Structure 1
Amino acid sequence: MMHRFKLAVLGTALLGMLTGVPAGAATSKKPEGHGAARKSEPVAAKKTGNKAATQSAASKSAPKVVAKNSKPVGKLAAAPERAPAKSQAKNTKAVPASKLAAAADVDKKAVRRVSMREIDPGKLALYSSSALVIDQSTGHAVIEKQPDAVVPIASISKLMTSMVVLDAKLDMHEVITITDADVDTMKGTRSRLPVGTTMTRETAMLLALMSSENRAANALGRHYPGGLSAFVAAMNRKAHALGMYNSRFEEPTGLSSNNVSTAHDLARMVTAAARYPEIRQFSTTAEAKVELNGRVRDFGNTNALVRSDSWEIGVSKTGYISEAGRCLVMQARVADKPVVIVLLDSQGKMTRVGDANRIKRWMESAGLGSARKA
């Protein structure tokens, strides 16, 4: 009996324990209004603006919104600055370091000071038998090639002819006439001035200097006070006065091979001729229209360089007879320096012009380094 009672009590206790645990568990895990709370949570979040929910949603959607509708901020702001660099990289080729080094070397060479004294003029290929270039600012010879050889000078003589006429202060508007005495009987050269042509002394000088008209030059000498012999004597006196001690003149045209001089003497003559405005103007006139005997004729300069924009020429005169070869003298400005150029006995029609251009390029290349350095 007692045993049954114990079993009953134990069973009751076990039953109580079994029924009490579920009840406690249900009470602790299932608070009041649980179902209502779940249904109202989304609404509460919308109405109360739950900060955690809002911030979480914003953080998830922010990158997309900023990327589409706004300019990036913070680190993203660097993107627009890098874009031009990428674009520039597409259009610009990278320069190898070796080329940059070579360019630096070229720049160093370009600014190196160069003097004409550092360049051997002997390496300058000149095809004139006698040549001389004088820097008038210093009086020094820049180039010399047989400068003291006494040679025929042909129509270079006409510079002396013009100086003698101007020194006499004769009326430049006086009319003079071409006669049989002006016809070339030594070389048989042609002329565009027929016998009987009349012109002013000024026009005769223009044609003698610009177009090297022999009849015009001879007429200038004939119409000198005392005639042709007095004129030739005046030419030689002028030469001596200029220090042209190795020069001699026999007539005013240069057709005679006995009209001789040296490159050094001619440099003195050109320097003197440059002091006469009329000689400067007439000898560098490129072309002229001259009315002769009621007919207008075109005359051009025998020196093609006076028509070149790359030359600044103050005095010019060409000459040619077979004994003298082709000759050219000029007073010009080359490499920003006043110079006198004398070229005698050039073989070939364009040799004297070629030599003049070679001298000009040589002087400019020598002066270029000094100009850059300065």
Structure 2
Amino acid sequence: MSLRTLVQVSALWLCYVPALLAGSGPNLASVNAAVAVVGDDELVFGKHEDRSVPIASITKLMTALVVLDSGEVLDEWLTFEERHQPAAANAYTRIRVGSRMKRADVLRIALMSSENFAAYTLARSQPGGFDTFVDSMNAKAKQLGMTGTRFVDPTGLSAGNRSTAADLVRLVNAAMKHPEIQEYSTTGYYRGHFRNPRYSLSFGNTNALVHRESWGVELSKTGYLTEAGRCLVMVSAMNGKQVITVLLDSLGTRSPMGDAGRIKRWLDTGASGKVARAARRYEQEKNADYAAAGNSATAVH
């Protein structure tokens, strides 16, 4: 480790003296987690951070990154075409097949409202089509050093989309370089306008914390599948820093937000906090399932 790197790491950890003096990490309902400062892949805290697990709609952050890195025109009108293959899970949508919307707006509703048809359409509309887009997602993961990550679709509806909490820190750091991802993923409410035919739909953000100014949320993505549990990836203000929080596989809809609060208090005061007994049981059961499946490897093959 170079002297410069050593100084940077030391400065990072000194930011969290209260938490370090406490001698233990926060108690979390999420089975897998990672905490880091924006711009640094080094973790302040990790919990099964190298375990590769389904990530549900957290996938859409990579979808957005591939779209924006491709340089495709955001003002181009895209057509919502009927799926060329069945979705892996429930893909209910209010968007009409054949209607059109600008790529920027399609990307916005995919991120802030987790619209699955929008994410599918972004991939289908890229040069080379759907399969090439998924290949690009995996190539980008490899480029970012996400060794525990594999994508099979752009929406997250497939449990085959897997990553680790530590890998997702790398993804968030890359996504934070795009102001569009920050803006679109933290939009509270949005009225989307379509053509062919002309109609509009209202969309709301799936993360309630984006509506609370005290959190200073600068990037957000939620996810849920039965196999993945409740998931949340977020950049928010904690202890005077921009902090990446990755929370994977929680029992209830409010558990990730509760965990975010426990992490925030831990960084401020060193207090570990408490989680509900039901969440503890869920964690024990899931850890047993992961162990039985041999799912402790750091890489996906």
- Report if TM-score (shorter chain) is over 0.5: yes
* Letter in structure 1 aligned against 2:171: M
8 Å CA contact retained: 2:18, 2:267: no
Query: Does residue 1:132 correspond to 2:34, yes or no?
Result: yes
Q: What does residue 277 of structure 1 align with?
A: 179
8 Å CA contact retained: 1:182, 1:219: no
Q: What are structure 2's unaligned runs of at least 5 residues?
A: 1-15, 272-301
Query: Does residue 1:192 correspond to 2:90, yes or no?
Result: no
Of 119, 123, 134 in structure 2, the residue corresponding to residue 221 of structure 1 is 123
CA apart distance, 1:180: 1.5
Of 18, 36, 41 in structure 2, the residue corresponding to residue 115 of structure 1 is 18
**Cα distance between partner residues in 2 of 1:237 and 1:275:** 18
**Cα distance between partner residues in 2 of 1:284 and 1:182:** 30
**Cα distance between partner residues in 1 of 2:36 and 2:224:** 23
**Cα distance between partner residues in 2 of 1:129 and 1:363:** 19
**Cα distance between partner residues in 1 of 2:71 and 2:84:** 22
Q: What are structure 1's unaligned runs of at least 5 residues?
A: 1-112, 368-374
Q: What does residue 261 of structure 2 align with?
A: 357
The residue matched to 2:131 in structure 1 has which SS?
helix
8 Å CA contact retained: 2:41, 2:169: no
More helix by share: 1
8 Å CA contact retained: 2:107, 2:119: yes
Q: Deviations over 1:253-303 (max 9, x none)?
A: 011111100000001001110100100100011111112343332111001
**Cα distance between partner residues in 2 of 1:321 and 1:272:** 25
The equivalences for 1:87-98 within 5 A come to none
8 Å CA contact retained: 2:19, 2:268: no
* Letter in structure 1 aligned against 2:198: G
CA apart distance, 1:138: 6.3
CA apart distance, 1:307: 0.4
CA apart distance, 1:189: 2.8
* Letter in structure 2 aligned against 1:273: A
In 2 relative to 1, CA 345–167 (structure 1 residues): closer, same or farther, beyond 3 Å? same
**Cα distance between partner residues in 2 of 1:184 and 1:283:** 26
Q: What does residue 339 of structure 1 align with?
A: 243
**Cα distance between partner residues in 2 of 1:208 and 1:138:** 26
* Letter in structure 2 aligned against 1:245: T
Q: Deviations over 1:165-207 (max 9, x none)?
A: 1111101111111121178632123112121221011111001
The residue matched to 2:217 in structure 1 has which SS?
strand
Deviates more, 1:181-190 or 1:192-201: 181-190
In 2 relative to 1, CA 338–182 (structure 1 residues): closer, same or farther, beyond 3 Å? farther
Query: Does residue 1:299 correspond to 2:212, yes or no?
Result: no
RCO comparison, higher one (Cα < 8 Å, 6+):
2
Q: What does residue 167 of structure 1 align with?
A: 69
**Cα distance between partner residues in 2 of 1:274 and 1:287:** 21
RMSD: 1.9
Q: What does residue 287 of structure 2 align with?
A: none
**Cα distance between partner residues in 2 of 1:114 and 1:239:** 33
Q: What does residue 66 of structure 1 align with?
A: none
Q: Deviations over 1:291-329 (max 9, x none)?
A: 234333211100111001210111110011111111000
Deviates more, 1:290-299 or 1:154-163: 290-299
8 Å CA contact retained: 1:136, 1:338: yes
The residue matched to 1:187 in structure 2 has which SS?
coil
TM-score by length of 1: 0.65
**Cα distance between partner residues in 2 of 1:194 and 1:138:** 42
The residue matched to 2:213 in structure 1 has which SS?
coil
Number of aligned residues: 254
Of 203, 226, 230 in structure 2, the residue corresponding to residue 326 of structure 1 is 230
8 Å CA contact retained: 1:184, 1:215: no
The equivalences for 1:67-86 within 5 A come to none
Query: Does residue 1:241 correspond to 2:143, yes or no?
Result: yes
* Letter in structure 2 aligned against 1:117: L
The equivalences for 1:1-12 within 5 A come to none
**Cα distance between partner residues in 2 of 1:121 and 1:163:** 34
The residue matched to 2:177 in structure 1 has which SS?
coil
Query: Does residue 1:155 correspond to 2:53, yes or no?
Result: no
The residue matched to 2:59 in structure 1 has which SS?
helix
**Cα distance between partner residues in 2 of 1:139 and 1:256:** 27
8 Å CA contact retained: 2:247, 2:256: yes
8 Å CA contact retained: 1:182, 1:218: no
Bigger radius of gyration among the two: 1
In 2 relative to 1, CA 200–138 (structure 1 residues): closer, same or farther, beyond 3 Å? closer
Deviates more, 1:250-259 or 1:177-186: 177-186
